[in-house]
Amino acid sequence: MATIEARRRDGSRMTLDPTGLATLRTGLRGSLLLEGEAGYDEARTIWNAMIDRRPALIARCLGVADILAGLRFAREHELALSIKAGGHNIAGLAVTDGGLMLDLSLMRGVWVDPAARRARAQPGCLLGDVDRETQLHGLADRARLRFRHGSRRPDPGRWIRLHDPPLRLDQRQRAVDGRRDRRRAARARERDGERRPLLGPARRRRQLRGGHGHRLRAPPHRLLDGTQPRGRRYYWKSEYLPGIEKDMLAKMREHAGRITSPHSAVIVFAVDGALNRRPADHSAVGNRDAAVVLNITASWENPQDDAVHVEWARSAWRDMRRFSTGGTYVKFLTEEEGGDRIEAAYGDNFARLVEVKRAWDPENVFRMNKNIAPRG
């Protein structure tokens, strides 16, 4: 193996010697990829095509031991480190330029405990992976479902049963599936029943209603793949809003009218409910005064058009910031947003998070994220 150039955490350049690289490679259960090797480009490519970075090394981890081996190597060499899980972060924080990327996207195991309504998922899982396993038990994760159907009922817990009568998931599902698919699903459920003549009547009724073992529906989280597919170019600007005001809606319409790409959108979705009922310091993200997320999502295909679409999103956001609570959602921050915007995302909890960071990662090894520096 030849020597390769890499980048340290502090940004300086270094050369990695072949013996160390060979040791890392043989110590992994997964593979170690260098530029030019088969699979390297696929591994460094993420959902947002705006992100085009080249790690010096990619460790495709298959388990915890691989993660630890990669982490040890990065620490010993003070290498810049990034972690790719699902690779869906808008800012492309999963991919380091010139450092070591720990690629966890092959680790997609899901273990469901239906009695406890708990699922354990490996870090490379997408929501669709979790859906696939939980639906076997008639369960679904609430993530991203609630605001789509607008329920304001108290949150009884994170997991919902797909067949509980009060659930409005079915209404959403009907809209998506259409009549023809519903007829097909009904026929399939009947067939299921017919194929299981040994079931007692109660169990059989439960099955026909859609309980354990029922015919699976489309994974709900996959619905977004249609409008926000992997491989397009994306740029977002986002704010938390205290509610929906008439003036805000008028501005929203105005900026939507100036949209520069058919894939772009101005989106608002409700997040109020359980979020507002907890005390501000209940958990890191805070923002207990937020009722709505505003997300201005530019999306397009041609790299030559970057400037025009980015500018549309920025100018709409500059104009609409006046309606903000002052807070923002950390996972929607784009590449160039750091400093003040990260503090805005955590609000009063920021100082406490600095303490946590100082205790657990004083050298800031994990810094390829919307970083909270362990400053003194």
Which positions lie near ligand FAD, rule CB under 6 A?
47, 82-89, 93-94, 104, 123, 144, 224, 228, 331, 368-369
Min separation Cβ 222 and ligand FAD, Å: 11
Minimum separation from the CB atom of position 147 to ligand FAD (A): 8
User: CA torsion 278→281→285→287, rounded to 10°?
Assistant: 60
Q: What minimum distance in Å lies between the beta carbon of 17 and ligand FAD?
A: 26
Judged by beta carbon, residue 185 or residue 342, the one nearer ligand FAD is 342
CA dist., res. 243 & res. 271, Å (int): 10
Nearest CB to ligand FAD, comparing residues 142 and 251:
142
Using the minimum distance from each CB to ligand FAD, give the nearer residue, 31 or 334: 334
Indicate the length of the chain as a whole number: 376
Q: Smallest distance from the beta carbon of 310 to ligand FAD, in angstroms?
A: 17
Quote the DSSP letter at residue 332: G
Pick between residue 173 and residue 334 the one whose CB is nearest to ligand FAD: 334
Interatomic CA distance for residues 368 and 7, integer angstroms: 13
Q: Minimum Å distance from CB 189 to ligand FAD?
A: 30
Q: How far is the CB of 190 from ligand FAD (least distance, A)?
A: 35
Q: Using CA atoms, how far apart are residues 323 and 313, in angstroms rounded to an integer?
A: 16
Residue closer to ligand FAD by CB (options 85, 354) is 85
**Nearest distance, CB of residue 9 and ligand FAD, angstroms:** 14
Nearer to ligand FAD, 185 or 310 (CB): 310
Q: In the complex, which residue's CB is closest to ligand FAD?
A: 86
Residue 261 CB, shortest distance to ligand FAD, in Å, is: 16
Residue keyed to tokens 């013996």: 19
Distances (CA, A) of 184 to 11, 106, 137, 223, 363: 58, 34, 21, 19, 57
In the chain, DSSP assigns E strands to 4-7, 13-16, 31-33, 57-60, 81-84, 100-103, 110-113, 118-121, 139-141, 159-161, 233-241, 265-270, 292-300
210/300 with CB nearer ligand FAD: 300
d(CA 342, CA 112) in angstroms, rounded, equals 34
* CA–CA distance, 166 with 138 (Å, rounded to integer): 15
d(CA 207, CA 183): 17
> 148 or 203, CB closer to ligand FAD?
148
Query: Are 151 and 226 contacting, i.e. CB atoms less than 8 angstroms apart?
Result: no
